[in-house]
Structure 1
């Protein structure tokens, strides 16, 4: 069974996709860029501010599925500049208390709306 998950506290999708899909006990969260859901604009600042906004958006989507970062098993991180890796990690690591998920991190040529970062997640309801 497939269920669409939506949070009004996270940005609306900017294309033909869902914020997240729950399939049985697995949640697939679409890539989130640093859009402020209140203004629908990219947040100002560098990688730290953008990472924080992406993680807050992801947190709201997880919450809509009655989950938290503790449920995340895999994350996919897309950075505009790999030189931002250390600063990104400093912010990202604060969202995972004990057991960080598996992760892929790659540098990409471009991201929607000129974002510096995009993150997608897979979470498991245990």
Structure 2
């Protein structure tokens, strides 16, 4: 039995900050898009946005959306997200903003508290989405 061959394609976009290490912001293969964790970095300034967990969640999701769209998909095609929080006590505040980006047909989600995130961010979000 042979297995289908799928190419690995690197996603690039100038709508998000450049990767801060040896990784791609997104990769597609077959019918799937895999994103790297998106930090709440403003592409214009190259810095973490100010304003607390809600502002940071919004920016991380804007960046996530940009990567998914650059791959040829959209947020309504996201099947799984992982949210990394520096403080699980901020979950409800993060969730309010998250719910404004994912309004129906919700993806599966995991949320975990981590000891630290790059650039001392409060949140980082990654996703897997379908390519239409």
Give the structure 2 partner of residue 27 of structure 1: 33
Show CA shifts across 1:65-111 (max 9, x none): 12111110000110000010000000001111311100110100000
Partners of 2:34 and 2:69 in 1: CA distance: 13
Give the Å deviation of 1:63.
Answer: 1.1
**TM-score, normalising length: structure 2:** 0.93
- After TM superposition, where is structure 1 displaced by more than 3 Å over at least 4 residues in a row? none
Q: What secondary structure sits across from 2:100 in the alignment?
A: helix
Q: Which has the larger radius of gyration?
A: 2
The separation in 2 between residues aligned to 1:6 and 1:91, in whole angstroms, is 26
Q: Distance in 2 between matches of 1:114 and 1:97?
A: 29
Distance 2:30 2:44 in 1: 31
- Pairs within 5 Å for 1:1-126: 1-126=7-132
Q: Deviations over 1:13-38 (max 9, x none)?
A: 00000000001111000001110011
- The gaps in structure 1 that reach 5 residues or longer are none
Structure 2, gaps ≥5 residues long: 1-6
**Number of residue equivalences:** 126
Partners of 2:46 and 2:92 in 1: CA distance: 27
> Aligned-residue CA RMSD in angstroms?
0.7
* TM-score, with structure 1 as normaliser: 0.97
